[in-house]
Structure 1
Amino acid sequence: MTYEISQRFFFDAAHTLRREIETEGSARVHGHTYCGEIAMTGAVDPETGMVVDLGQLRALLEQVRLQLDHHLLDEVAGLGIPTLENLCAFIARFTAPSGVRLSRVSVWRDGIGDRCDLRLP
């Protein structure tokens, strides 16, 4: 059997964005409450009874959260343009050295209904 195990986290951050629509509001510094989630897919390890220890995922996400929470995303090194897509990619890159093999990274903003899912092989 294959399972998907995931862990969510939240952060508040500000950014600007150059767009062709909603230009005035996007160009000003503004903020959002972001929700993020990382997921792993795999088989249960017979010795631990887990795909991955959720404590390991929580510790990893706390490190990511510290890079983003209450920051101006425009200034976060390695993020690039502060879009949902780039946030997903940033989280995936940030977690890669940990050895945790992610199957999905999601970032969304409940307040306005936006969501992005990055599916990883």
Structure 2
Amino acid sequence: MKFEVSQRFFFDAAHTLHREIEVEGSARIHGHTYNAEVAVGGAVNSETGMVVDLGQLRVTLDKIRDRLDHRMLDDVPDLGTPTLENLCTFIVRLAGASGFSLSRVSVWRDGIGDRCDLRLE
């Protein structure tokens, strides 16, 4: 059997965005509350009874949250343009570097209904 176990976190951050629609509002510094969910997939380890120790995952996600929370996303090293897609990729890079077998990363903004899912399997 294959399971998917996930942990969520949120962060508040500001950014600008240069695009062809909603030009003026996007170019001004503005902020959002972002939600993120990181899912780890796999079989249950017979010794631990877990796919992943959620406590260990939470420690990693707290470090990622610290790099994003109450920040100007335009200035976050290695993020690139602060889009939902790049936020997903950024989280995958950092969480994956910690050795987790990621199956999905999602980032969304409830306030305006936007969501991005990056599926890794």
TM-fit CA distance, 1:41? 1.0
Runs of 4+ with deviation above 6 angstroms? none
Secondary structure at the counterpart of residue 25 of structure 2: helix
Query: TM-score scaled by structure 2?
Result: 0.98
| Distance in 2 between residues matched to 1:4 and 1:101, nearest whole Å | 10
1:57-111 Cα deviation digits (max 9, x unpaired): 1101000000000000000000000000000000011112211110101000000
Note if 1:74 corresponds to 2:74.
Answer: yes
What is residue 63 of structure 1 aligned with on the other side?
63
| Distance in 1 between residues matched to 2:43 and 2:69, nearest whole Å | 32
Q: How many residues align?
A: 121
Q: Which consecutive residues of structure 2, in runs of 5 or more, have no partner in the other structure?
A: none
Query: TM-score scaled by structure 1?
Result: 0.98
| Distance in 2 between residues matched to 1:90 and 1:28, nearest whole Å | 23
| Distance in 2 between residues matched to 1:91 and 1:27, nearest whole Å | 24
What is residue 9 of structure 1 aligned with on the other side?
9
What is residue 106 of structure 2 aligned with on the other side?
106
What is residue 88 of structure 1 aligned with on the other side?
88
Conserved? CA contact 2:8–2:38, under 8 Å? yes
Secondary structure at the counterpart of residue 103 of structure 1: strand
| Distance in 2 between residues matched to 1:13 and 1:101, nearest whole Å | 27
- The percentage of aligned residue pairs carrying the same residue is 71
Q: Which consecutive residues of structure 1, in runs of 5 or more, have no partner in the other structure?
A: none
What is residue 29 of structure 1 aligned with on the other side?
29
| Distance in 1 between residues matched to 2:87 and 2:63, nearest whole Å | 14
Conserved? CA contact 2:42–2:101, under 8 Å? no
